[in-house]
Copies of this chain bind each other. A is one copy, B any other.
């Protein structure tokens, strides 16, 4: 009869996500990954196809969670949901501890030398999804007749995406979500000012 795993698969993947998020794909070695997750190198190879396979798995989980979570609220909401997204990004009380290391996708976009198509594809899709979420929110507001006429939705959604990404980088550089509090407040005010 088969022997059960020493570590729960879901828990191990959560720990892998955390380790990749904090340390980065390149600087996290397989032995450190074993230490951090409890997944031994045999299971890493057999279950995930190796380090890269586990990384893709946890990246996919992360992207899906983001898309179904905060960005879903934005897509289905309006300016207030957008403002809330920004304000929440500086709220240590509600956020996972890992968020002071930025965003896994953004970190990966920067440390990625572009040769890994599987990673490129996912990063581009994620960035597009962020832009689309903001576009939906602005479009929802426009449909309700509550968006100021001078707001160029096409540009505004890319502007918002840029700001969100940038603030994640600043949070990471400081290892502190509070570092971006002034900027998120300012951004929330700009967003709210777009309401009629």
Contact = CB atoms under 8 A, between A and B. Distances in A.
Given A107-B111, A186-B158, A173 B124 contact: yes
A163 B180 CA distance: 12
Interface stretch (A18-26, A61-69, A140-148): A18-26
Contact of A169 (B26, B27, B106, B185): B106
How many subunits of this chain does the assembly comprise?
2
A113 B175 CA distance: 10
A172 B111 contact: no
Contacts of A190: 159, 190
A163 B173 CA distance: 15
A interface bracket (residues with beta carbon within 8 Å of B) = 35 or more
A111 B159 contact: no
A159 B186 contact: yes
Contacts of A111: 24, 26-27, 107, 110-111
A109 B179 CA distance: 15
Interface of A: 22-24, 26-27, 102, 106-107, 109-114, 123-124, 127, 152, 154-156, 158-159, 161-170, 172-175, 180, 182-183, 185-187, 190
Contacts of A22: 113
Contacts of A109: 110, 169, 172-173
Contact of A162 (B107, B155, B170, B175): B170
A189 to B, nearest CB: 8
A164 B166 CA distance: 7
Contacts of A24: 26, 110-113
A102 B109 CA distance: 10
